[in-house]
Amino acid sequence: MCNTPAIILAGGMGTRLNGVVSDVPKPMAEIHHKPFLHYLFNYLQKNEVAEVILSVGYLYEKIVDYFGHQYLDINIEYSIENEPLGTGGAIKKAMEFINEDTFILNGDTFFDIDLQSLKNEQNDIQLALKQMYDFDRYGTVNVNEDNLIVAFNEKKACKEGLINGGIYYAKKTIFDNINLPTKFSFESVILEKNTSKLRIGATIYDNYFIDIGIPEDYYKAKIELL
């Protein structure tokens, strides 16, 4: 059993899925009579994760009612946002529940990597990057010869590139020496602005990846996640 906990960011409202998914948080979007979060828990169970911190906000009661405090033999704690804190604020708050380094997963993406292969004790944060082709809805990431991230690029049409796959391995101490507001974005404030202060490494994968953030890919997930 893996001793490393996982934080899942599950507070999203799913604004871009309005009309397709309503009255539930985005990670509760239904895929074959089960919420998308079920597939993340199933994935974490296969990777032998025993403890999950669910970072929740919008309509969080629906998540608590469904998953309770144990699901698929995984123990669950809830980090509840009374107001939106941004991805960074949500992670910082969720880290109050743990005493060790942690995996972090976006609650609206599924990236089928071996979690243990992402661990890198030399770096403050290790990102799982996905090699993509012919896309325009993701920003890209530049990596140097030492597999350290040196730049994040804005969204634009690309023939090929590396994107942030939404899974991280992070040291418990990543926020300690950075002056931060209560609400902030993990991506723009921590990752993009601190490539010189933090060792931010990358592991590149070509594994299955799906992001249910837009209706087109939500419908695609309903087929593929079977």
Domain boundaries, the chain: 6-111+119-224
Does residue 202 carry a pLDDT above 70?
A: yes
**For the domain bounded by 6-111+119-224, which CATH number is listed?**
3.90.550.10
Banded model confidence at residue 197, pLDDT cuts 50, 70, 90: confident
Banded model confidence at residue 26, pLDDT cuts 50, 70, 90: confident
Which pTM does this prediction carry?
0.95
Handedness of CA 173, 179, 180, 185 (dihedral sign): negative
What is the C-alpha to C-alpha distance for residues 8 and 167, in angstroms, rounded to an integer? Answer: 9
* Residue reference for tokens 């991230």: 149
